[in-house]
Homo-oligomer: A and B are copies of this chain.
Amino acid sequence: MTQQKLDQFKTLLKEQASYGEAIGLMGWDMRTKAPKKGMGHRAEVLGVLSQKVHEIQTSDEMKSCIDELKGKVEDPVMKRALEEAEETYEKTAKIPVDEYREYVTLQSQAESMWEEAKDNDDFDSFRPYLEKLVEYNRKFADYWGYENHRYDALLHNFEPGVTVEVLDQVFPKVREALTSLLDKIKNAPKQPDPSVLEGHFPKDKQEQFSAEILKRMGYDFQAGRLDETVHPFAIGLNTNDVRVTTKYDETDFRTAIFGTIHEGGHALYEQNIDENLSFTPLADGTSMGIHESQSLFWENFIARTEAFWQTHYELFKSYAPDSFKDLPLDDFYRAINEVKPSFIRIEADELTYCLHIMVRYELEKALIGGEIEVKDLPRLWNEKMKDYLGVEPETNREGVLQDIHWSGGAFGYFPSYALGYMYAAQFSKKMQESMAVESHIQNGDFQPIKEWLTEHVHQYGKMKKPLEIVNDVTGEGLNPDYIVDYLTEKYQKIYQF
């Protein structure tokens, strides 16, 4: 009886994963290849398939599998899959069907309203939508339940185990350290000169160099590919088909090259998840934060280091325009690590990035908690930007309207980006204790690094929760000291303060 039920459960998971792969491919296609006139039809098809996934997750069959199998399954993969399925079932079951349907409609309306509002720098036209989204999210959080802070219920969707209590211990420490570092950097006598990076860098050359670096990182092109898009992403259709996308700016190679390496880090994670997790919901990154730790690790802890460029600068120059021929390595290295407060999160350097996140975290926590309202956002946004980054945007387009996340109802997502930095620094430190990371980078030998990440992080997929991984790998919980130490040491050298 149990075996029969287990087979039924596996069949449901396989269907769910199959729809997932189809949905993933359709999304990849829409963002890289699909002709624009077919988009409307495709969106409807996506709607049908997403509905099917939702139906499986909340079906009576799924419920009976959960009820009958709970506590009776030995196989660790199926046991975790069952927990995951139960959590999804419970989470969805707690929301009244009508409210969920209204919310899905609101999401798509709000996203297109946000796009327009951003274009027109018109917060007020978006405000009523954002107010409704906040209202729904407050309600959903109440349905789901929480122990201390209502925002915890939303955080859980992106970073299970991380709560307001944790973040309120960690984030202020990081914020204070970064603002003080930023002060020193601003006043440092020797500033990098980013103008040395200028010059027309043809797209095909950028592509060739990016692909070459991906290969060296250990990204498997027989289980993936590299394409062009507008908003770069990586997507795992299955562990043997994990695709990277990038965009090319012929006037600034940094977009493509660091962008490709960043997405390559995400892709390495998904390519190296244990194949035994295939056709289960566990064949995926365990959280947004751990996923981001992998992309940031490769982008910053590898590809923005001096050691990396000591080996790869000659290779880079073989693809780069002639203007780089006589540029000294040190000038290049300092230029690609320039720190400069700016308005836009996605253009921020690795030091100010976390400060952008702090602004968002504090605002959305207060918003969901009911301490502030949507109408207060533009003013508070600008105040916090001034406090933490020392710059104040003159338009909402460059301020509170810049990110897509809230328009899709994604509250609780932003902290994952900062957590990604912290996890990456913490993993990096641990890795250094067990091998000569810098000399591997200098030798262009990334194999041991990739293997370390696979062994400690990638292979598990969702078998381990994010903080479980952090604890298992580093022997302690989330610790903000590592990111602070890393940034302090690095930028002291670069800015010589």
| Residue positions of A touching B, CB distance < 8 A | 14-15, 17-19, 21-22, 25-26, 29, 33-38, 40-42, 44-45, 48-49, 52, 220-225, 237-241, 278-279
* Chain B residues closer than 8 Å to A279, beta-carbon distance: 44
A95→B428 CA distance, assembly (Å)? 61
The answer on a CB contact under 8 Å between B35 and A240 is: yes
The answer on a CB contact under 8 Å between A21 and B45 is: yes
Tell me the dominant secondary structure on chain A's binding face: helix
A49 in complex: contacting residue of B18, B33, B36, CB < 8 Å: B18
* Chain B residues closer than 8 Å to A238, beta-carbon distance: 38, 41-42, 45
* Chain B residues closer than 8 Å to A239, beta-carbon distance: 41
The answer on a CB contact under 8 Å between A18 and B45 is: yes
- Tell me the smallest distance from the CB of A260 to a CB of chain B, in Å: 17
The answer on a CB contact under 8 Å between B38 and A241 is: yes
A19-B49, A37-B223 known; 19 new pairs, CB 8 Å cut-off, are A14-B44, A14-B48, A17-B45, A18-B44, A18-B45, A18-B48, A18-B49, A21-B41, A22-B25, A22-B45, A25-B26, A29-B29, A33-B33, A38-B223, A38-B240, A41-B238, A41-B239, A42-B237, A42-B241
* Chain B residues closer than 8 Å to A278, beta-carbon distance: 41
Show 23 A/B contacts (Cβ-Cβ < 8 Å), sorted by A: A14-B44, A17-B45, A18-B44, A18-B45, A19-B49, A21-B42, A22-B26, A25-B25, A29-B29, A33-B33, A33-B225, A35-B221, A35-B224, A35-B225, A37-B220, A37-B240, A37-B241, A38-B238, A41-B238, A41-B240, A42-B237, A42-B241, A44-B279
- Tell me the smallest distance from the CB of A158 to a CB of chain B, in Å: 27
* Chain B residues closer than 8 Å to A222, beta-carbon distance: 35-37
* Chain B residues closer than 8 Å to A38, beta-carbon distance: 223, 237-238, 240-241
- Tell me the smallest distance from the CB of A394 to a CB of chain B, in Å: 38
- Tell me the smallest distance from the CB of A410 to a CB of chain B, in Å: 25
